[in-house]
């Protein structure tokens, strides 16, 4: 059984079918890419899996548990979290505080509980874990910096740190290298690979930067008009005429 099994997912917005009967199986330890043209339904698919949007129909099983219909906080606690395209979640707090606050806000349902709901021992544990995450992502030198002062690449990395704070098994990254220069892209790509290799994390990413997708994903799902067009290795995807037609306007994918 795959770690994530999505069956016949459908999402309708009024008359528009944004996600149309999509199956998705992701094995533990995979780095999976989801690609497709603008408006194909990638973000909607992400939101369905993370629980941010309610399914019109379909079932999602994660780690053997049915998670469809559950709240995002429940899904996060079960070990599946997503990042967002926006920068730092709590811009006026330090980097370390961001990771601590994220852990609480993603798995607790009220801000009160998030802020006051933990005992000292648990808080110590959370703090130690937050430091470990920052070290892993080489953000520890910024631990006491205000988040909004970080460079763009580091802010996006902090988004990943915030997601890791709930200690997930599967992390969904929404355009992790969007707007980055080549140095930042290389840094983030390297960390994504290390997350899988060293922390056994399963990763799903939506990304427009084809070079990054081809470089780090061993398997890619292509979405077009809300439906799955194909799945395959980067090589299979980049050579598939339907994909080239749909996604790249008949230009070859540059790998
Ligand atoms: N909340 C919503 N209400 C109505 N329509 C929506 C909503 N969210 C998305 N859509 C529509 O659903 C379709 C899929 O959008 P989605 O954002 O999932 O595509 P995408 O593949 O992520 O696109 P992009 O690559 O541009 O981010 C689009 O036609 C979009 O306009």
- Residue 40 CA to ligand 1 centre (angstroms): 7
Q: Is the CB of 210 under 6 A from ligand 1?
A: no
Residue spans of beta strands (DSSP E) within 161-254? 170-174, 202-206, 219-224, 227-232
How far apart CA 129 and CA 135 sit, in angstroms, is: 10
Q: Is the CB of 53 under 6 A from ligand 1?
A: no
**Ramachandran angles phi, psi of 34, nearest 5°:** -120, 120
Q: Is the CB of 16 under 6 A from ligand 1?
A: yes
Given this model, what pLDDT does residue 90 score? 86
Pocket test for ligand 1, best of 10, 18, 19, 36 (most atoms within 8 A of CB): 18
**Ligand 1, atom nearest to 223 Cα:** 21
Pocket test for ligand 1, best of 16, 33, 225 (most atoms within 8 A of CB): 16
**Ramachandran angles phi, psi of 206, nearest 5°:** -100, 130
Given this model, what pLDDT does residue 118 score? 64
Angle, helix 152-164 to helix 95-107, in steps of 10 degrees: 40
For residue 170, which of 100, 84, 77, 105 has the smallest C-alpha distance?
77
Q: Which residues of the chain have pLDDT under 70?
A: 87-88, 107-118, 248-255
Q: Is the CB of 44 under 6 A from ligand 1?
A: yes
Q: Is the CB of 246 under 6 A from ligand 1?
A: no
Domains of the chain and CATH, by start: 30-52+71-248 (3.40.50.300)
Q: Is the CB of 113 under 6 A from ligand 1?
A: no
For residue 222, which of 239, 203, 211, 237 has the smallest C-alpha distance?
237
Q: Helix, strand, coil shares of the chain as percentages rounded to 5?
A: 45, 25, 35
Contact criterion met (CB below 8 Å) for 53 and 7: no
For residue 210, which of 220, 202, 201 has the smallest C-alpha distance?
220
Given this model, what pLDDT does residue 89 score? 75
Task: Summarize pLDDT for 159-194 with one digit per residue, the tens.
Answer: 999 999 989 999 999 999 998 999 999 999 999 999
Given this model, what pLDDT does residue 255 score? 44
The CB-based long-range contact list for 179-183 (8 Å cut-off, 24+ gap) reads: 179/152, 180/152, 180/153, 180/156, 181/153, 183/153
Contact criterion met (CB below 8 Å) for 188 and 176: yes
The dihedral over CA atoms of 214, 191, 228, 29, expressed in degrees to the nearest 10, equals 110
For residue 129, which of 102, 93, 147, 108 has the smallest C-alpha distance?
102
Tell me the β-bridge partners of 111. none
Element (H, E) at 239: helix 234-239
- Atom 18 of ligand 1: nearest residue by CA position: 41
What number is the ipTM of this complex?
A: 0.96
Given this model, what pLDDT does residue 116 score? 61
Given this model, what pLDDT does residue 110 score? 56
């Amino acid at each position: 059984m795959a770690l994530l099994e999505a069956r016949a997912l459908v999402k309708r917005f009024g008359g528009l079918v944004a996600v149309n009967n999509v199956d998705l199986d992701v094995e533990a330890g995979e780095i999976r890419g989801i690609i497709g043209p603008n408006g194909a339904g990638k973000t909607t698919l992400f939101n369905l899996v993370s629980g941010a949007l309610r399914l019109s129909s379909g079932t999602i099983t994660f780690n053997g548990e049915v998670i469809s219909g559950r709240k995002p906080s429940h899904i996060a606690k079960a070990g599946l979290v997503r990042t967002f395209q926006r920068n730092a979640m709590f811009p006026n707090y330090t980097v370390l505080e961001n990771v601590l606050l994220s852990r609480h806000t993603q798995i607790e349902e009220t801000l009160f509980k998030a802020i006051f709901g933990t005992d000292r021992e648990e808080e110590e544990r959370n703090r130690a874990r937050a430091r470990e995450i920052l070290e892993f992502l080489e953000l520890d030198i910024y631990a006491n910096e205000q988040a909004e002062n970080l460079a763009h690449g580091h802010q996006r990395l902090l988004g990943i740190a915030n997601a890791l704070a709930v200690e997930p098994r599967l992390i969904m990254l929404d355009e992790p290298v969007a707007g980055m220069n080549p140095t930042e892209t290389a840094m983030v790509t390297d960390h994504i690979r290390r997350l899988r290799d060293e922390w056994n994390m399963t990763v799903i990413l939506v990304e427009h930067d084809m070079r990054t997708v081809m470089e780090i994903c061993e398997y890619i799902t292509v979405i077009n008009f809300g439906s799955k067009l194909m799945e395959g290795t980067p090589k299979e995807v980049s050579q598939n005429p339907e994909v080239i037609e749909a996604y790249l306007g008949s230009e070859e994918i540059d790998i």
